[in-house]
A and B are shown apart, each in its own frame.
Chain A
């Protein structure tokens, strides 16, 4: 197992180098000159040339890339073109916020998603099943953006109005306390919770048809044990795969939630930076998100072995 982990980690290196080069190269393909964006529309051509030189943009792309990787390996991810603040510092501030939001959302969505999925599967075609699947369909199709604003209006404007409260029930935007987390987590979790509920239901329905479930029941085991130990555990493999992917997506894809709720995470950092052609920030943020994906995938692979003893990594 240790060998497997080491091998996977080593394999992650070329993946990350590949990802970072792709980003490096592709953002330079996008039309638009960061020197111009930085110098402003009032700049003279001489000043723009000066800025370009200062940023190293006048050099061939491979040399730019080699310089960049050399610096990253020494812990220097460059400085934001726009604010002059070191990229690493910026990421250190944002990453924990995104991790917090993404992990709590993942926990909330999987606890509720799996619970709803299992309940639906054990009572197929009941009112609960029908209701929760309609709910799940809504969750999958509802734009996060819209849901976020509706939550905000409900908790911060309407509820206090109806009950004559002195202030909002939940602060509309910002971060810092657990109250700030509630709405972004609901908005972010709604979508993946719906997905997991549907996924769990489908997998469970299939597993519950298996012979060993009948055997377990025939042995006279408690229904709860049958469902959770024999059923859910065997249905978990595809669910875990989806979970892993979801976490990766949550890391980089919380952009909308972060924007609506003014949550200072890494997704928002990335989007702002793209709009401003802030190359160092874009590169740094993508590198971090790619690393997140690679690590999550590794973790999922390890989890497979635990969940299904037949899977062995030699």
Chain B
């Protein structure tokens, strides 16, 4: 009797769930994106994570935008011209208003850039507007014109102005201070904030008065689904239209699903191992080259990433301005052994490789693969790892503080999509620790080329300088060049026009759903 009641109860519950169906597949005017993490807050000048930028870039627009192909296009700005070596004059589009009715003008832009430049506000992307340690100066010329003056000639400035963190916030909101900016959002973009339920979802509605072409999708939902497996279930169930960060192992499964497209986008983060060129044995270029020959990067990419990474062909990723493709060091055990012998490195020499654990995809496994492959050329690698917040200060100590690091794994992302950001801080001799040049790499010719490329405004001349610098760096191998990351996104195939940007932001403005 009791068992029968129990069974009956279960059947009833099941039936009830069938009848009162959960949310059916989303409607055609709503696009739901399963994102891995929640936004930090709503202040675009303060946030740092790509999920935050993905949401906020639909509300806020910077002066320029960087296309996924790396082309700089005017957005709120109409045009930009250099009036001297150190001054840019920017003309704004006319007739644009913030969604609170405040007009967009030169004063509003100046107020935003000054807010970012004010050190007291702690804007993490302040460095975008700082040249040689000196903050840029912003001056209003007239209603729709402003001038930005830097301490030294600085060609990447227009690219820097396209960074999401320099999106323009309504001056009315800006005046209310950081707390208000963190909990409210008023911009000029194609969408407006509808609601933010912390740790759950952000909902955006189409801006009915948008100055540009109106987006097709009425409502955007950025839903926080932290667990990789759960995001996969969501996209398979059709309860979301887009799922980010698909784990490599799930790619074949999703590709087999006729309702889902798997989209692969190159990323902007390069993973590398830097050699400290001050410390033995990597003070000898032959040893550094030998390690590059000994490590089979392609095998690492194939086996640990299911192919979802890109073997490095330059010290930074292909979508970045200034990229110049180099011939990768193909695995050659004989050559590596020979170079080591020439350099006098004995068989069985022990070297210590530092690596982070859990900071980058598969980082510890990659370090172990390097250890195994170097063993084959007679180098005995000892692996050491540290908790991330300890790791960076440890591997990037000044020599005076007893830096005994031999080689260490790190990643570097180039959100400005300009080679200046990717190379200057990492390879210019003025940037040795506590700067970011952990290799202590120093080559006067590379220094000169990087300085020239930074101060020349002609894009072709810049490209040429970068190309030359890259080939020198490639030859002298202050790094073990590894790979750059790839983003894998799953999109329901009734969605078109959805853009996954190399900088990891997701653009739904041009998306359509049928």
A residues with a Cβ closer than 8 A to B are 30-34, 36-37, 39-45, 47, 50-51, 54, 82-85, 90, 93-94, 115, 119, 128, 149, 152-153, 155-157, 160, 165-175, 177, 179-180, 182, 259-262, 264, 268-269, 277
Contact = CB atoms under 8 A, between A and B. Distances in A.
Interface of B: 2-3, 6, 17-18, 20-25, 40-41, 46, 48, 122, 124, 127, 178-179, 182-183, 197-201, 223-227, 229-230, 233-234, 236-239, 386-390, 392-393, 434, 436
A36 B223 contact: no
B17 A172 contact: no
A84 B22 contact: no
A179 B223 contact: no
Nearest to A262: B225
Given A31-B389, A39-B124, A174-B223, 12 more contacts: A85-B198, A149-B229, A149-B230, A152-B233, A156-B22, A156-B237, A166-B24, A168-B238, A171-B22, A171-B239, A172-B234, A182-B17
Given A84-B182, A174-B223, A175-B200, A167 B21 contact: yes
B224 A40 contact: no
A229 to B, nearest CB: 18
A262 B198 contact: no
B233 A170 contact: no
Contact of A45 (B17, B20, B434): B434
B3 A128 contact: yes
Nearest to A268: B199
A168 B230 contact: no
A169 to B, nearest CB: 5
A168 B17 contact: no
Nearest to A116: B6
Contacts of B224: 262, 264
Contacts of A260: 227, 229-230
Contacts of B25: 166-167
Contacts of B2: 115, 119
Contact of A167 (B17, B182, B238): B238
Contacts of B127: 42
A85 B182 contact: yes
Contacts of A149: 227, 229-230, 233
A180 B230 CA distance: 14
Contacts of A261: 230
Contacts of A172: 230, 233-234, 237, 239
A169 B21 contact: yes
Given A51-B122, A167-B239, A152 B392 contact: no
Contacts of A44: 434
A189 to B, nearest CB: 13
Contacts of B201: 174
Contacts of B182: 83-85
A84 B41 contact: yes
14 contacts: A33-B390, A42-B127, A47-B122, A54-B122, A85-B183, A149-B229, A157-B236, A166-B24, A168-B238, A169-B18, A169-B22, A174-B201, A261-B230, A262-B200
A41 B226 CA distance: 23
A36 B392 contact: yes
A162 to B, nearest CB: 12
Contact of A262 (B23, B223, B387): B223
Contact of B178 (A84, A166, A169): A84
B3 A32 contact: no
Nearest to A79: B179
Nearest to B25: A167
Contacts of B388: 32
Nearest to B201: A174
B223 A83 contact: no
A170 B19 CA distance: 11
A88 B384 CA distance: 39
Given A82-B40, A93-B198, A174-B200, A32 B239 contact: no
B389 A259 contact: no
A177 B200 CA distance: 13
A277 B389 CA distance: 9
B239 A90 contact: no
A165 B237 CA distance: 11
A44 B182 CA distance: 24
A173 B24 contact: no
A262 B227 contact: yes
Contacts of A37: 389
A93 B227 CA distance: 21
A167 B24 contact: yes
A31 B390 contact: yes
A170 B22 contact: yes
B24 A32 contact: no
Contacts of B41: 83-85
A44 B24 CA distance: 50
A36 B389 contact: yes
A206 to B, nearest CB: 22
A274 to B, nearest CB: 12
A54 B18 CA distance: 54
Contacts of A179: 17, 20, 22
Contacts of A47: 122
Contacts of B21: 165-169
A312 to B, nearest CB: 36
A259 B238 CA distance: 20
Query: Most chain-B Cβ atoms within 10 A of its Cβ — which of A84, A157, A175, A259?
Result: A84
B230 to A, nearest CB: 5
Given A83-B182, A269-B199, A171 B23 contact: yes
A224 B127 CA distance: 76
A90 B198 CA distance: 8
Contact of B22 (A42, A85, A119, A167): A167
A83 B199 contact: no
A259 B226 contact: yes
A170 B17 contact: yes
A84 B179 contact: yes
A287 to B, nearest CB: 19
A105 to B, nearest CB: 15
B200 A264 contact: yes
Q: Ordered nearest first, which 6 A-B pairs have the shortest CB separation?
A: A167-B24, A264-B199, A32-B389, A156-B237, A171-B22, A168-B237
Contacts of A173: 223, 225, 230, 233-234
Contacts of B238: 167-168
Nearest to B200: A264
A268 B197 CA distance: 15
Contacts of B392: 36, 41
Contacts of B3: 128
Nearest to B223: A174
Contacts of A43: 124
Contacts of B234: 156, 172-173
A83 B48 CA distance: 11
Contact of B239 (A41, A54, A156): A156
A90 B183 CA distance: 13
B118 to A, nearest CB: 13
